């Protein structure tokens, strides 16, 4: 192999990455700042960029580079770049460019339709848009591999290395082992404190979450905070933006969402800058991404030492003079009547994921008609969580993912939560984490994560990265031990 071949290959890869990142900025703008009437033009713009990226990924020159390089003597990092681009290329060449354009345009058009349907509590308004996306994504999966389960093919868009069997095994295990703990909590005589009993202005809540971001160490020179209908993170290691949303009666919702997105942004900002534009400078897919947000949200933001640190800011910004223990209890209350995934506690959260996983899997497999989604959704909530939505807005319209065509995404939330607990256990072997949280010392945790997770980008597969970071294979044991100990202590079980 000549150095020129690898350099030409890398330049091609960087170009397709930059096009994708540009599309990401347009998507951020559409969800945060774009005027409502701009959707038709934005759909065409994003479709054009999606088409251009697809062309670059399926280009004959790229195929020749890959064939040449795979028979060459490469070092470990070069092999990883070739592996990751080969995987993307082989999937992309099977998908017609016209289909890529259709999916991009349909997703852009679906966003305002979903927003209006949610606002007006009417699933029927979103039904046609969802049906189109389901059909297009089935077609997409079939193009990639007509002989495999289409949902498995789509799941690999978000987690290519752990496998759908791992996701199903983990969800099944949590579905069996968490309900008895939830039931025990419900039967406990212990009542969690609730110091928030009023309505809190959005400006005051925003000041509080900005204080929290300052304490945690968010890099404002390379990020920003905005509001959106659904909190998300977008960007690169040079520009990682987060959004949140505010509920007047529940400031804990905005705090939790903001810390969650901070975790995502911290991962992105921790990726090696010198590798920007290549897989070595990209995140290792959504299981790992979600582990970073869940670690900061749950294993930092839901700890008692964190509330010892943040209590003065809560009093200053919201006028709530509460003891750290009260705030800790409020952050960890288990709700037996919660309908909203992003407001769920650590225990019932995974039942919310199980509902979505089963519904989207059946939609993609053709075992469920789109028109039946509200009824099936409500039935599953009653079965798994003991509550039944009264409206579509608090039921099947609450999440943004399907209007993006993101079928297969939801299981990674649970996989990431499980990995977060495994990483947290490894961190605590090396760091006095509670003391550091109590003292507002977050640099050691950030550096530990950067060393063991962030700096590697996509050099390793997910199982390899987990093994190197924790010394063990991926396991749900740490998560189940963690919740047993934590909620057993909180609720005196």
The enclosing domain of 374 has a CATH number of 1.10.1370.30
Q: DSSP assignment, residue 305?
A: H
Look at residues 114, 148, 182 and tell me which one is the last residue of a structural domain: 148
Q: Is 261 a residue of the active site?
A: yes
Is the Cβ–Cβ distance between 152 and 140 less than 8 Å? no
Q: DSSP assignment, residue 335?
A: P
**Whether residue 124 is found in the same domain as residue 231:** no
Calpha distance 355→410 (Å, rounded): 10
Tokens representing 353 are 């994921």
Residue 17's pLDDT band (cuts 50, 70, 90): very high
Look at residues 90, 113, 148 and tell me which one is the last residue of a structural domain: 148
Calpha distance 99→143 (Å, rounded): 10
Calpha distance 75→427 (Å, rounded): 30
**Whether residue 58 is found in the same domain as residue 108:** yes
Calpha distance 52→160 (Å, rounded): 23
**Whether residue 131 is found in the same domain as residue 258:** no
Residue 1's pLDDT band (cuts 50, 70, 90): low
Rg of the Cα atoms in the chain: 22
Calpha distance 154→20 (Å, rounded): 19
* Within-domain flag for 413: yes
**Whether residue 105 is found in the same domain as residue 191:** no
**Whether residue 174 is found in the same domain as residue 296:** yes
pLDDT of residue 468: 98
Residue 343's pLDDT band (cuts 50, 70, 90): confident
Which helix (H) or strand (E) segment holds residue 22: the answer is: helix 3-32
* Within-domain flag for 375: yes
Calpha distance 259→255 (Å, rounded): 6
Average pLDDT, whole number, for the chain? 96
pLDDT of residue 376: 98
* Within-domain flag for 123: yes
Residue among 219, 118, 141, 175 nearest 349 (CA):
175
Give burial (CB, 10 Å; 0-12/13-18/19+) of 262.
Answer: buried
In the chain, % of residues over pLDDT 90: 96
**Whether residue 295 is found in the same domain as residue 415:** yes
3-state SS string for 218-267: CCHHHCCEEECCCCCEEEECCEEEEEECCCCCCHHHHHHHHHHHHHHHHH
Tens-digit pLDDT profile for residues 348-387 = 999 999 999 999 999 999 999 999 999 999 999 999 999 9
pLDDT of residue 68: 95
Number of domains the chain is built from: 2
**Whether residue 143 is found in the same domain as residue 176:** no
Is the Cβ–Cβ distance between 422 and 479 less than 8 Å? yes
**Whether residue 354 is found in the same domain as residue 452:** yes
pLDDT for 2 beyond 70: no
Cα 484 to Cα 188, 388, 477: the distances in Å are: 14, 27, 11
Tens-digit pLDDT profile for residues 243-287 = 999 999 999 999 999 999 999 999 999 999 999 999 999 999 999
Calpha distance 317→296 (Å, rounded): 22
Q: DSSP assignment, residue 100?
A: H
> Which is the catalytic residue, given 115, 152, 261, 308?
261
pLDDT for 485 beyond 90: yes
* Within-domain flag for 158: no
Give every CB contact of residue 401 below 8 A, 6+ residues apart in sequence: 356, 407, 409, 410
* Within-domain flag for 153: no
Instruction: Name the strands in the sheet holding 233-236, side by side, starting at the edge strand that comes first in the sequence.
Output: 225-227, 239-244, 233-236
Calpha distance 226→242 (Å, rounded): 7
Tens-digit pLDDT profile for residues 82-118 = 999 999 999 999 999 899 999 999 999 999 999 999 9
**Whether residue 116 is found in the same domain as residue 178:** no
* Within-domain flag for 159: no
**Whether residue 246 is found in the same domain as residue 140:** no
pLDDT of residue 230: 86
Calpha distance 363→358 (Å, rounded): 9
| pTM beyond 0.85 | yes
Calpha distance 84→257 (Å, rounded): 31
**Whether residue 370 is found in the same domain as residue 335:** yes
Cα 152 to Cα 204, 369, 476: the distances in Å are: 44, 19, 21
pLDDT of residue 70: 87
* Within-domain flag for 82: yes
pLDDT for 306 beyond 70: yes
* Within-domain flag for 157: no
**Whether residue 199 is found in the same domain as residue 335:** yes
Look at residues 115, 148, 181 and tell me which one is the last residue of a structural domain: 148
- Domain around 254: 164-490
Tens-digit pLDDT profile for residues 425-456 = 999 999 999 999 999 999 999 999 999 999 99
Tokens representing 66 are 């890959």
């Amino acid at each position: 192999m000549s150095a020129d071949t690898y350099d030409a290959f890398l330049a091609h890869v960087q170009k397709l990455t930059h096009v994708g990142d540009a599309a990401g900025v347009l998507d951020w703008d559409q969800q945060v700042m774009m005027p409502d009437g701009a959707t038709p033009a934005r759909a065409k713009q994003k479709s054009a960029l999606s088409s251009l990226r697809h062309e670059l990924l399926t280009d004959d020159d790229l195929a020749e580079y890959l064939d040449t390089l795979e028979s060459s003597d490469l070092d470990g990092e070069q092999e990883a770049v070739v592996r990751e681009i080969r995987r993307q290329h082989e999937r992309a060449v099977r998908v017609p460019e016209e289909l890529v354009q259709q999916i991009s345009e349909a997703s852009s058009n679906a966003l305002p339709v979903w927003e209006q349907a949610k606002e007006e509590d009417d699933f029927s308004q979103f039904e046609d848009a969802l049906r189109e996306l389901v059909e297009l994504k089935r077609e997409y999966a079939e193009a990639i591999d007509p002989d495999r389960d289409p949902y498995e093919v789509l799941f690999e868009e978000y987690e290519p290395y752990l496998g759908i069997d791992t996701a199903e095994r983990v969800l099944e295990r949590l579905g069996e082992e968490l309900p008895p703990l939830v039931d025990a909590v419900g039967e406990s005589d212990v009542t969690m404190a609730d110091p928030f009993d009023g309505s809190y202005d959005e400006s005051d809540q925003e000041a509080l979450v900005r204080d929290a971001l300052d304490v945690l160490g968010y890099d404002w020179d390379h990020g920003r905070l905005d509001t959106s209908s659904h909190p998300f993170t977008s960007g690169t290691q040079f520009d990682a933006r987060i959004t949140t949303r505010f509920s007047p009666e529940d400031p804990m919702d905005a705090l939790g969402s903001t810390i969650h997105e901070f975790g995502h942004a911290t991962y992105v900002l921790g990726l090696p800058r010198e590798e920007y534009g290549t897989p070595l400078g990209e995140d290792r897919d959504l299981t790992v991404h979600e582990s970073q947000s869940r670690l900061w949200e749950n294993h930092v933001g839901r700890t008692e030492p964190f509330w010892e640190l943040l209590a003065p800011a809560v009093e200053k910004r919201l006028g709530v003079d509460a003891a750290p223990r009260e705030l800790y209890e409020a952050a960890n209350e288990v709700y037996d009547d919660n309908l909203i995934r992003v407001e769920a506690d650590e225990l019932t959260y995974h039942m919310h994921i199980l509902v979505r996983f089963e519904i989207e899997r059946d939609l993609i497999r053709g075992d469920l008609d789109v028109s039946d989604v509200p009824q099936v959704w409500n039935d599953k909530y009653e079965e798994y969580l003991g509550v039944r939505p009264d409206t579509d807005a608090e039921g099947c319209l609450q999440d943004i993912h399907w209007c993006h065509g993101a079928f297969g995404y939801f299981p990674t939330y649970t996989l990431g939560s499980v990995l977060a607990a495994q990483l947290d256990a490894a961190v605590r072997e090396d760091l006095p984490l509670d003391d550091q949280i109590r003292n507002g010392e977050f640099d050691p945790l950030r550096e530990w994560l950067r060393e063991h997770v962030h700096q590697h980008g996509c050099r390793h597969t997910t199982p390899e990265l987990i093994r190197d970071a924790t010394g063990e294979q991926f396991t749900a044991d740490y998560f189940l031990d963690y919740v047993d100990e934590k909620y057993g202590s909180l609720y005196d079980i």
